[in-house]
Structure 1
Amino acid sequence: MPIQTVEPQRLYRQIAEQLRQLMASGEFAVGSRLPAERDLALQLGVSRPSVREALIALEVEGMIEVRTGSGIYVQSTAKPKTRKTPAQADSSAEWGPLEVMSARILVESEVAALAAQNAQKKDIKAIRAGLQQMKQEAARHEMPREGDEAFHEAIAQACGNSVLLDTVQRFWTARKGPLFERLGDYFEHPASWQAAIAEHQAVFDAIEARDAPAARKAMQKHLKQAHKRYSASWRRAPAR
């Protein structure tokens, strides 16, 4: 057997693997309810966001079912199919969603401040167009994800730093991954997007006014609120 590359595992994947083993051993039988997210975090000695990411991963694999307002139930103990390695797929698609949100708070707040300082007329036009696209998508009762991406990428383009642009683009690669998509299924809805659009408007206004501190603060507030929305209680997630 040839030597294979050793990959460091992300924390949420380590948690998911431990839960898989407990299900396979019969500790959590098919049809049984798992402990609450908070209890799992205490028992495992990890954060609730990490547990949530692990549970979302297990749901994507078909091993558990989240029943809003009831709990999380074991659906299967069968070992999932082998997943693609980072050599086969962009590893950013496997980043934990809430971990991505935490990183975005740090990085994109500074990107917005730089954009306020460096944006040219064409950049302001592109940022405005992204915001307008979000509003149009929401008016059609669509989740305005395309406009959201266009808005944030236009700000990254305006900041004048290609490394930061590449970083923000990788955040959006992660945003299109299966874990993020499933999390969005639970916690994105018309009311949350209307709040997000108002937050985006504040970011745009600060950049257009060339007010770097205000742009930083507005972006930070927006992304912290987004993180909070994704971290809400399962019971507050709208039924699908």
Structure 2
Amino acid sequence: MPLGPVRPSPLVEQAAERLRAQITSGHWPVGTKLPGETTLAKQLGVGRSTVREALRALAGAGLVQPRQGAGVFVTATRAVADWPTRLRRAAVTDVYEVRMAVEVHAARLAARRRTPEDVAAMELALEGRRAASTADDVTFVDADIAFHTSVVAAAHNPVLADLFGEFTPVLREGLVELLALTGLRHDEPDPAGEAHAALVRAVADGDAEGAAGILRGELEDPFAS
């Protein structure tokens, strides 16, 4: 199957897709060394820099691997799903277990690293969560996640913050469904409200293990009164 030239834009995406098709179809089996950049550029009708970027994208998907001084080799015929895609496909319970590990440690770090601005942000988010107790489930879940985001932010670890941010869409969907199915807020509009307030106090007081323990208890039973 000849590669053929690609259309003008977006060149990198089109080049990567053409190369991906060759790999996933078995035209270039695992272990095969790909043609050089100059050859691929000529076949695709693009510049070498475009080919280089396309190969980088394929490497990120786990399909190819460059070897210093040897060239680029096919390492798989199926792309590895990226992190957001894997999270969307994961069971909510699995994501929640990982969330617990991330947030409990973040609470511990937050108690050690918090600034007055961080504490003020947590207090504001706590008030927002309380105010949302009179609103619908979606609004309440959004306020609850905003509060937890403020705690993670106080840890001052950008990797933890990014990781929690990746969880948020899956968590939001799961928590909204949980509330809709169980009606947990019918009798207690602000579930775990006291635990959230206690968490803010522990972080503000610099009680790292206390903050971690409070958050662990809350996440084990997220909507206990």
Instruction: Tell whether the structures are fold-level matches, with TM greater than 0.5.
Output: yes
Q: C-alpha distance in 1, partners of 2:224/2:135?
A: 26
Q: 1:175 to 1:138 in 2, by over 3 A?
A: same
Q: C-alpha distance in 2, partners of 1:91/1:174?
A: 11
Shift of 1:192: 5.6
Paired AA for residue 174 in structure 1: V
Alignment of 1:162 onto 2:158: yes
Aligned partner of 1:10 in structure 2 is none
What does 1:1-240 align with in structure 2 at a 5 Å threshold? 2=21, 3=24, 90-140=85-135, 142=137, 143-177=139-173, 181-187=176-182, 189-190=184-185, 191=187, 194-226=190-222
Q: C-alpha distance in 2, partners of 1:111/1:225?
A: 18
TM-score of the pair, normalised by structure 2 = 0.57
Asked if 1 retains the 8 angstrom alpha-carbon contact of 2:111 and 2:202, the reply is yes
Asked if 1 retains the 8 angstrom alpha-carbon contact of 2:191 and 2:224, the reply is no
Cα displacement string for residues 16-65 of structure 1 (whole angstroms, at most 9, x for unaligned residues): xxxxxxxxxxxxxxxxxxxxxxxxxxxxxxxxxxxxxxxxxxxxxxxxxx
User: Which of structures 1 and 2 has the bigger CA Rg?
Assistant: 2
Shift of 1:188: 5.2
Paired AA for residue 112 in structure 1: A
Shift of 1:207: 0.6
Paired AA for residue 222 in structure 1: E
Aligned partner of 1:21 in structure 2 is none
TM-score of the pair, normalised by structure 1 = 0.54
Asked if 1 retains the 8 angstrom alpha-carbon contact of 2:152 and 2:161, the reply is yes
Q: C-alpha distance in 1, partners of 2:90/2:120?
A: 31
Aligned partner of 2:40 in structure 1 is none
Unpaired runs of at least 5, structure 2: 2-20, 26-79
Q: C-alpha distance in 2, partners of 1:156/1:134?
A: 16
Count of residues in correspondence between the two structures: 148
* Structure 2 residue matching 1:195: 3-state secondary structure: coil
Q: 1:125 to 1:188 in 2, by over 3 A?
A: farther
Q: Percent identity?
A: 21
Asked if 1 retains the 8 angstrom alpha-carbon contact of 2:107 and 2:208, the reply is yes
Q: C-alpha distance in 2, partners of 1:159/1:188?
A: 33
Q: C-alpha distance in 1, partners of 2:206/2:100?
A: 20
* Structure 2 residue matching 1:111: 3-state secondary structure: helix
CA-atom RMSD in angstroms = 3.0
Shift of 1:180: 5.2
Shift of 1:173: 2.3
Q: 1:170 to 1:211 in 2, by over 3 A?
A: same
Q: C-alpha distance in 2, partners of 1:94/1:188?
A: 25
Q: C-alpha distance in 2, partners of 1:221/1:106?
A: 12
* Structure 2 residue matching 1:226: 3-state secondary structure: coil
